[in-house]
Structure 1
Amino acid sequence: MIIRYRVLGPARAVPHPGGADAPLVPGGARVRALLTALAAAGGRPVPPAVLAAQVWTGEPPRDPPAALQALVGRLRKAIGREAVELTPGGYRLVTAPDEVDLFRFDALTADGLAVLDEGPPAEAARLFGEALELWQGPPLADLPDGERHPLAVRARQRHAEARRGAVAAALALGRADAALPEAAALAAAEPLDEPLQTLWIRALAASGREAAALAAYEEVRVRLAERLGTDPGAGLRALHTELLAGPSGGGDAPPVPGNLPARLTSFVGRGDDLADVTAALSSRRLVTLVGPGGAGKTRLALEAADTAGATSTTGTTGTTGATGAAYPDGVWIAELAPVRDGGTAAADAVLAALGVREPPLAVRAPGQAADPLARLVEHCRQRRMLLIVDNCEHVVGAAAGLVARVLESCPGVTVLATSREPLGVPGELVRPVGPLHRDAALRLLGERGAAARPGFTV
């Protein structure tokens, strides 16, 4: 008979198929902690010392090996001698990860998220529903200090994703009224989570409560301004435009945000370079243009950003959308040339370029970081955008640290850097920018000369 193990809530062993057999609930907190620790290993051996440390947190027995052996005997008596075996690597629960609800929950949620992106919403709803049925309480609840266990932390994150995915699937199926209570609860728990607030506002609108949806948007807008010093992202603004247009739709799409300067002169030559950099941005999250001063790195970066931002592509990084602009939260350039030190000034410069104001102490959220780099990550974490970091060479260490932190923490951000030397960040794609070819250089000289002095010829 197969035994399935439950550690999402009270630890227990459930015979499968169940029939008349009741779940096996070991008696004693230590025995349940041992079962939880073994189940969390997913069938892999756990060294005795590791098991003892998990079961007797802060109060080890006088003879840990003997105490653990006695505890294993009690667990075997409760769920069957053959269920726990001793191997050279330690004790193991004779099971597979799929027979432990913790791992099955994770897999079902991951499948649901994948289907929600590309498949039928009914299948996504089924997967999320099956996952949420497994959630019977806090993960690893019988394990002392289990709340801080990495698997418990991940499980809670997955639980939030499953709840959110279930709401999104219900909305896609036209079941807004049924999804509304859960959407409200999720939005209240994460007041600064823009995608979640978007889901909540969309649920209100889909259930026929357009006025309430507009009021909720205004609350979110004010909250973001007061706590983060920023405006709603492109997704929320687009939804706001839909709400203002009414059920019949219509109107133009909201402009994509950004701060790229208008170019006042023509872009000469570098057609191949432009195509190469634009293509690279569709598949890589960090592209660095490297070359001597005056080579044209910044101009090439601006032209490539314009081209990439207007192109709808599906890259391998998940930073671009299948429809609409590639970077719905905008294309931004941060100029590091004025930065004179390698401390927090680089992060301050990028925040200023993005228009992020430091929230006053009086309205700063509890626990909200004042560190500029932490604020930058907080701002960018849920956005899909292209960030140009220009002239990095004189603060290359600070620039590299900033870019690495943003790329690690903000999966929707792509960075295009310009520098006289590579940043040295993992995943960086370096593209050298050399002098213009002779014909292009002569054409550029002719155009700029004629603009400065009428009648000028090369």
Structure 2
Amino acid sequence: MRFMVLGPLQIVVDGEPRPSLGKTAALLAALLLDRNRPVSVERLIETVWPDDPPRTPQRQLQNRVAEIRSLIGGDPGCALETIGQAYQLRVGPGGIDVDRFESGRAYARSLVEDGDPVEALAVYDRALGLWRGPAFAGLSGRLIETGAAVLEESRMEVVEERLDLLLHLRRFDLAAAEARGLLADHPFRERLVCQLMKGLAATGRTAEALEAYETLRRALAETLGIDPGSQVRQVHLDILRGNLDPHGPTGGPSTRSRPRVPHQLPAPVPGFVGRTAELARIDDRWARRDGKGPLAIAITGIGGAGKTALGLEWARRRGDDFPDGQLHADLRGGETGAAQPLTVLHGFLRALGARPTDLPGDLGQAAANYRALLAGRRVLVFLDNARDADQVRPLLPGAGGSAVVVTGR
């Protein structure tokens, strides 16, 4: 089951949309905006009935919660839970199109940093192709409209990042045409104006580029009483002086030598002997992997049986198969304070090079960013002392040649 919000709200099962959600749509939208977090009954009532709540709003809310639970059924990837005086819609990684959109954006950015703008452009196109119209199209209410506006801003940022790539790839005519079309609906987005001016000037249409600046300047003065920002003024000045760099400061692609390679595995047990049959079984699984997704290897047994030692020994022997590094986390599944998947993901993201300011507070988004950073890489992820599948599932890589070793009782 997947939730689609980048357009009219839909639930899709096995590729087929479920029937119209009717009166439950606003409630589901509110839960999806705060997915994997408790949402108070008061906030949900305000969202569903912003102007004219019924006489028994809590009872009506309970009825609609029951309808959503019926729609979800027994799908293992999501659940609608009651938490005190709040409800929480649990959505697994990739269970909502927003996660896939943000994952694509993160992957495209990593490709740009790795010096592959052509593939990055294709990834941006696929991410933008997930949009079927305005987010939560057809639904109203202050909270839903605010959430939709945040998503729309993310979409426009991706559109602008993609236009920077077109300029970088010297596809100036296409960049200018697309920027001009977008400015019809977003006349005050100065980055778009910069991109239009650069595309026009690079193809010899200097007068049109200068007119684009004048159009923005007049609109800002007449509507808001302000001047254009420093970035667009600089592009205007560069055009006047004839020294415009089409690849210049609109946030164009940068490069880096190579992605960060973490090495987090503990040292293997000294003098390890035995477990020949078990090591051979793991080797056989590794040899028969299909390459479409990560290989997951589960090692179970009672406490003290040597699960971790076995996993680390196999990792030592197969070290050359994982040139992009190893990640390790003790999930503390046998203890009262089991590790939270979001906390573990934050540690993995930092180890893979994410800045502290770029760590999402949402589990689904953090998992999507994690999978994007591992896409196309061969990394060994060692999850020690796991409690259950729900704790492990968000920590699994997506497509690619990585492997996951999980130990637990």
Taking structure 2 as the reference length, the TM-score comes to 0.50
1:73 is matched with which residue?
66
TM-aligned CA distance change 1:163 to 1:60, over 3 Å: same
Alpha-carbon spacing, 1:183–1:61, altered in 2? closer, same or farther (3 Å): same
Structure 2 residue runs without a partner (length 5+): 255-409
1:449 corresponding residue in structure 2: none
> Are 1:33 and 2:26 matched, yes or no?
yes
CA distance in 2, matches of 1:80, 1:31: 15
Contact 1:52 1:68 in 2 (8 A): yes
* In 1, Cα distance between equivalents of 2:188 and 2:90: 43
- TM-score by length of structure 1 reads 0.45
What code does the residue aligned with 1:23 have?
A: P
Cα distance in 1 between the residues matched to 2:24 and 2:57: 14
- d(CA) in 2 for partners of 1:11 and 1:248? 43
CA shift digits 1:185-234 (9 cap, x unpaired): 23344445443222101112334534433443454566667775657736
Give the drift of 1:7: 1.4
- Counterpart among 230, 233, 239 of residue 233 in structure 1: 230
Q: CA deviation at 1:128?
A: 2.4
The residue correspondences of 1:26-65 to structure 2 (distance < 5 A) are 26-28=20-22, 30-65=23-58
Take 1:220 and 1:240, find their aligned partners in 2: how far apart are those partners?
15
**Structure 1 segments unaligned to the other structure (5+ residues):** 250-318, 323-458
Letter paired with 2:2:
R
Equivalent residue runs for 1:54-203 within 5 Å: 54-80=47-73, 82=75, 83-89=78-84, 90-96=86-92, 98-109=94-105, 112=108, 116=112, 119-141=115-137, 143-146=139-142, 149-203=145-199
Question: What is the number of residues matched between the two proteins?
Answer: 247
Instruction: Give the aligned CA root-mean-square deviation in angstroms.
Output: 3.9
The higher relative CO (CA closer than 8 Å, separation ≥ 6) is in 2
Q: CA deviation at 1:167?
A: 1.4
Q: Is the 8 A contact 2:206 2:239 kept in 1?
A: no
User: Which has the higher Rg, Structure 1 or Structure 2?
Assistant: 1
* Structure 1 counterpart SS, 2:50: coil
Instruction: Give the conservation status (yes or no) of the 8 Å contact 2:160–2:191.
Output: no
Question: Could you tell me how far apart the structure 2 residues matched to 1:88 and 1:195 are?
Answer: 44
Q: Is the 8 A contact 1:48 1:91 kept in 2?
A: yes
Q: Distance in 2 between matches of 1:147 and 1:181?
A: 35
Is the 8 Å Cα contact of residues 128 and 155 (structure 2) preserved in structure 1? yes
Question: How do 1:274-353 and structure 2 match up within 5 A?
Answer: none
Match of residue 23, structure 1, among 17, 24, 44: 17
Shift in alpha-carbon separation, 1:213–1:50, aligned structure 2, 3 A? closer
Whole-angstrom distance in 1 between the partners of 2:152 and 2:240: 33
Residues 190 and 143 (structure 1 numbering): CA distance in 2 closer, same or farther, change over 3 Å? Answer: closer
